[in-house]
Amino acid sequence: MTTTATTSDAVTSAPTSTGSTATRVLGAASLVGIALLVVFGVFVSPPDKELGETIRILYMHVPTVSVAYLAFVVTAVGSAMYLWKRTEFWDLLAASSAEIGVVFFGLTILNGMLWGKITWGVFWRWEPRLTTTAVLFLTYIGYLAVRAVPASPRTRGTRSAVVGLLAVVNIPIVHKAVDWWRGLHQERTIFGTLKPEIQGTQAFAAYLGLMVFLLLFAWLLIHRFRVAFLAERAAESGLEGAIAERRQEAGQ
Amino acid sequence: MAERTRAAAGAPTGTVRAVLADARLVAGKDLRLELRSRVGLSQVLPFALLVVLLFAFALDPDRRVLGAATPGLYWMVVLFSSVLAVGRTFAVEAEDGVLDGLRLSGLSPAGIYLGKVGALLVELLVLDLVLALAVVVFYGTEISGPVLLAAVVATATVGIAGAGGAYGGLTARMRGRDTLLPLLLLPLLAPVLIGGTRGVEVALGRDAGPGWPWVGLLGIFALVYLTLGTLMFRPLLEDA
Amino acid sequence: MSSTGYIVAAWLVTFGVTAGYSLWVVLRGRRLSQEVPPEQRRWMTAGSRGRE
């Protein structure tokens, strides 16, 4: 832990939160984007010819699942980099990204179920993409469980980096397996009915949704990383404090 | 054992042959240990047979449900028994501090991993075989494609052993490993369950579809996790 | 519930959960900031690049 001259800036304006100019800009842009998305996704854009009103759920469903996959790729990159460089940054980045991915995966499943209730009349069918999402959701719950087990930073980092890499490799395999598995049972799927050329305000809402959730992901990732970094420092100073107390007790 | 370990440490390390020699050493040690303690034989195998019996109670055998569900049930029993077998293989190491001994023995981590997987594979194949016989006898199952069946079971089991070896090593020294191992391993093995079940359905003549693509998928799974496990076992051994 | 109800529910759940999670992260950051010495609060300035 070296305290260099550059830290004097940080000390004079010591941050009391995980916010910064960058996060405030990202946060404001996200809020504006969400407001616009609600306007266009819920009110302005017309219902789809085939999907009807249910397309309004897809304006969130598609971005959440895309961003979740992006988050897991970030986790995998962070995991690989941690095993190579062994620096705290990559470990905390991987962990922060995984948690956000799990949240977005949970939302994807909930949105998919609500979409299914309208389209199929039931909350759950073994639709390939929804099934894949459920399996991978549980896979990454396992990643978070490994991180929650108390251990030294290096041990915890190594364990979770291996899980992060084993899990990301499973994504295409699960996709393929589930696709073949459901191959004989063609039914109305979430993405199968989405035509590639949705137009006008529909296309605008779709792209806007993706942008909004990408901004949200960036905003959340910065905050979550800073929280993880603070948690490490707090654990260290807690440990140092405890050691100092013991020393005093021992009369040293 | 100690003598042989030293001999292996003195051998040129890093080459494929040295890694395989290490693997043979570790696999031999594990299998001898298993033969002497008989935990697998006296606990894991009876557990698997017990589940075969329990499934018959849960799904009435007279209403054809049991027969229709046989391939899936077979793999469920294999998966749960595998979790037990993996936990067992690594618990032995962690409890007696053998894992540290192995790390300091000069054996290559890849060799240790492949040895563990090899021993696990032998144990699981025995389990597969006994379970298959039990299913044929108790569920009245008829096999129409024995070659395909053997191929599906063998490749799926290599995949289970490969992934199990990696996660077994990962959780060996963890607090709460008994509950964490299934949480990590079972979602990862979902493709094996899918491929294994569909492949066996074809082999039993329940499903007309082609069976060999499933063997291909299971083979890719096995190859991927064997490769990853071999690469990851060094950091796991040193830091996990 | 009508299909409109489910669609409204989907929007409420999505942004409700996102808001709740965001709030949890931000508040945790504020609380932890108080526990950590000022010069160690940011990765950029705490010089942790080589830290393990």
Query: pLDDT confidence of B65, banded at 50, 70, 90?
Result: confident
Query: Rounded distance, CA B187 to CA A24, Å?
Result: 38
Question: A100: how many CB neighbours lie within 10 A of its CB?
Answer: 25
Mean pLDDT of A147-158: 94
Domain count for chain A, please give it: 1
pLDDT score for B163: 97
- Give contacts of A138 with chain B, Cβ < 8 Å: 183, 187
Smallest CA-to-CA distance from A175 within A72, A90, A249 is with A72
pLDDT score for B215: 96
Question: A181: how many CB neighbours lie within 10 A of its CB?
Answer: 20
With 50 as the cut, is the pLDDT of residue B10 above it?
A: no
**Nearest chain A Cα distance for residue B172, angstroms:** 11
Give percent of chain A above pLDDT 70.
88
Alpha helices in chain B (DSSP H): 2-10, 16-37, 39, 45-58, 65-95, 98-104, 109-139, 146-171, 177-188, 190-203, 212-239
Query: pLDDT confidence of B45, banded at 50, 70, 90?
Result: very high
With 80 as the cut, is the pLDDT of residue A186 above it?
A: no
Determine whether the interchain pair C33/A57 forms a contact, defined as Cβ–Cβ distance below 8 Å. Answer: no
Q: Which domain holds residue B89?
A: 2-239
Query: Rounded distance, CA A69 to CA A79, Å?
Result: 15
Query: pLDDT confidence of A34, banded at 50, 70, 90?
Result: very high
Mean pLDDT of B102-126: 92
Determine whether the interchain pair B180/A145 forms a contact, defined as Cβ–Cβ distance below 8 Å. Answer: yes
With 50 as the cut, is the pLDDT of residue A6 above it?
A: no
ipTM here: 0.89
Distance of CA B61 to the CA centre of its chain: 29
- DSSP letter at B227 equals H
With 60 as the cut, is the pLDDT of residue A123 above it?
A: yes
Contact of A51 with A137, CB cutoff 8 Å:
no
Alpha helices in A2-152 (DSSP H): 7-12, 21-38, 55-85, 88-119, 128-148
**Nearest chain C Cα distance for residue A95, angstroms:** 14
- Give contacts of A141 with chain B, Cβ < 8 Å: 183
Domain count for chain B, please give it: 1
Query: pLDDT confidence of C43, banded at 50, 70, 90?
Result: confident
Query: In this predicted model, what pLDDT tens digit does every residue of A209-237 receive, in sequence order?
Result: 999 999 999 999 999 999 999 999 998 88
Does the CB of A135 have a partner CB in chain C at under 8 Å? no
Which residue is closest to B164 within chain A, CA to CA? Answer: A166
Instruction: Return residues 225-244 of A near B (CB < 8 Å).
Output: none
With 50 as the cut, is the pLDDT of residue B103 above it?
A: yes
Q: Which domain holds residue A228?
A: 51-232
- DSSP letter at B60 equals -
With 60 as the cut, is the pLDDT of residue A176 above it?
A: yes
Question: What backbone phi and psi angles, to 5 degrees, belong to A52?
Answer: 65, -145
Query: pLDDT confidence of A189, banded at 50, 70, 90?
Result: low
> What mean pLDDT, rounded, does chain A reach?
87
Determine whether the interchain pair B239/A184 forms a contact, defined as Cβ–Cβ distance below 8 Å. Answer: no
The minimal CB distance from A237 to the residues C17, C33, C36 is found for: C36
Domain boundaries, chain C: 3-36
Does the CB of A153 have a partner CB in chain C at under 8 Å? yes
Residues on chain B bordering chain A, Cβ-to-Cβ distance under 8 angstroms = 163, 166-167, 170, 174-176, 180, 183-184, 187-188, 190-191, 194-195, 198, 209, 213-214, 217, 220-221, 224-225, 228, 232, 235-236, 238-240
- Give contacts of B234 with chain A, Cβ < 8 Å: none
Query: In this predicted model, what pLDDT tens digit does every residue of B181-194 receive, in sequence order?
Result: 999 999 999 999 99
Does the CB of A7 have a partner CB in chain C at under 8 Å? yes
Identify the three-state secondary structure at position A242.
helix
Give percent of chain A above pLDDT 90.
60
- Give contacts of B195 with chain A, Cβ < 8 Å: 177
Query: Rounded distance, CA A98 to CA B49, Å?
Result: 39
